[in-house]
């Protein structure tokens, strides 16, 4: 076959180029091998000659070498010591060596330095925590160009009414402008993953909306617990009403204590709970999850609180709406209505 010898030659060259490293799929090691695609990603990043670029998961350095051609400096974070050695070997003795800084370690546990642009081909299992780690980084960077598993990428950019529109979509788009750049077939990697990928551009918003993000996430978690149910049905559930009433009473008590002490030491009450690690705002799939509250079974105080919650939804025009159809501004308005009535979600 005409292609037989050619494939063998290419494979041998690739193996020499990468030091014969055995890639581990279990660790998400899928090296981008298409040089045209590498060049396209660098171009999409819009890197300036004065930019410091953070590269996450450089692997054997195919993308790193292209980044070094256009950036002032590249900071590469790599967990695998074999990849670190290969990366250092590739720049050894070149003018690029002094412009490459390699950090060996877990990017999720590492303190990230200052950078202008982030470029990453990451293990798909860290997609969500890495996205929000980047978005919480300060000072704010200009943009991130990241390779994600395609379904995850499409969730990031999904709009109200899309099938993949979810809590991830809402939270990410609250913090950043997100756009889909290109689809990448699995055969562009060595070894090929099981699914296709997509490259996404993330631009952090500056300034951010003046809200408590823990409260925001608490409300959004509840709304997307059953995203295709009406908000009226969701907020009639016994477990949710019970939780909100408990928060309501706690907040009232804090306000009273603060007024008596005449101090502001409590600050933003969102510091009292971190919903990223607290499952208290998640409703377990138990018998109470879809149990609506019957007024006849409620005590007078609980019934009044239920009316309070439902009146907020009615006044804002949200009672018959579904989370899957609501835009960013709708959720912000809904949160403001609840907070104005003294109802909080953290």
Element (H, E) at 73: strand 73-78
DSSP 3-state assignment of 244?
A: helix
Q: 81-91 vs 62-70: helix axis angle to the nearest 10?
A: 40
Torsion of CA 339, 340, 341, 346, to 10 degrees: 10
Q: Is the peptide bond before 139 cis (omega within 30 degrees of 0)?
A: yes
Please, what's the b/e burial string for 314-329 (b: 16 or more CB within 10 A of its CB; e: otherwise)? eebebbebbbbebeee
* φ and ψ at residue 130, rounded to 5 degrees: -70, -40
Which DSSP state fits 189?
A: E
The CA distance from 63 to 56, in Å, is 11
Longest dimension (CA), the chain: 88
* φ and ψ at residue 77, rounded to 5 degrees: -105, 115
The CA distance from 177 to 216, in Å, is 18
What is the Rg, in whole angstroms, of the alpha carbon atoms belonging to the chain? 25
The CA distance from 276 to 215, in Å, is 11
Q: Is 292 annotated as a binding residue?
A: no
Tokens standing for residue 187: 């055969």
Q: Is 300 annotated as a binding residue?
A: no
Q: Is 85 annotated as a binding residue?
A: no
Q: Is 344 annotated as a binding residue?
A: no
CB contact set of 327 (below 8 Å; sequence gap of 6+): 160
Question: Cα–Cα distances in Å, from 282 out to 30, 33, 345, 346?
Answer: 34, 42, 11, 11
Element (H, E) at 84: helix 81-91
Q: Is 188 annotated as a binding residue?
A: no
Q: Is 32 annotated as a binding residue?
A: yes
Closest CA to 79 of 130, 132, 149, 19: 130
The annotated binding site is made up of 30, 32, 57, 78, 106, 121
The annotated binding site for S-adenosyl-L-methionine is made up of 30, 32, 57, 78, 106, 121
């Amino acid at each position: 076959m005409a292609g037989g010898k050619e494939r063998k030659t290419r494979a041998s060259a690739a193996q020499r180029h990468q030091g014969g490293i055995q890639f581990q799929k279990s660790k998400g090691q899928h090296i981008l091998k298409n040089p045209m695609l590498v060049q396209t990603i660098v171009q999409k990043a819009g890197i300036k000659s004065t930019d410091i670029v953070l590269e996450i998961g450089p692997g054997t350095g195919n993308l790193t070498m292209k980044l070094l051609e256009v950036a002032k400096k590249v900071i590469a974070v790599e967990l695998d010591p074999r990849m670190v050695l290969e990366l250092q070997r590739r720049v050894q003795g070149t003018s690029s060596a002094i412009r490459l800084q390699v950090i060996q370690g877990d990017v999720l546990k590492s303190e990230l330095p200052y950078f202008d642009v982030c470029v990453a081909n990451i293990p798909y299992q860290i997609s969500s925590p890495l996205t929000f780690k980047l978005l919480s980084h300060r000072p704010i960077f200009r943009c991130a160009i990241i390779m994600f598993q395609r379904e995850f990428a499409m969730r990031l950019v999904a709009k109200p009414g899309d099938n993949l529109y979810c809590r991830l979509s809402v939270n990410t788009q609250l913090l950043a402008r997100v756009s889909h750049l290109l689809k990448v077939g699995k055969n562009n990697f060595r070894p090929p993953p099981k699914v296709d990928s997509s490259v996404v551009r993330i631009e952090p918003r500056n300034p951010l909306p003046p809200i408590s993000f823990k409260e925001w996430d608490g409300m959004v978690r509840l709304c997307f617990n059953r995203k295709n149910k009406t908000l009226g049905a969701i907020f009639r559930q016994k477990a949710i009403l019970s939780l909100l009433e408990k928060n309501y009473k706690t907040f009232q008590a804090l306000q009273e204590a603060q007024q008596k002490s005449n101090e502001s030491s409590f600050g933003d009450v969102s510091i009292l709970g971190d919903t990223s690690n607290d499952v208290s705002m998640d409703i377990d799939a138990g018998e109470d999850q879809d149990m609506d509250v019957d007024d006849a079974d409620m005590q007078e105080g609980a019934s009044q609180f239920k009316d309070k919650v439902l009146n907020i939804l009615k006044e804002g025009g949200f009672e018959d709406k579904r989370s899957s159809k609501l835009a960013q501004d709708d959720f912000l308005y809904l949160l403001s209505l609840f907070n104005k009535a003294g109802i909080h979600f953290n």
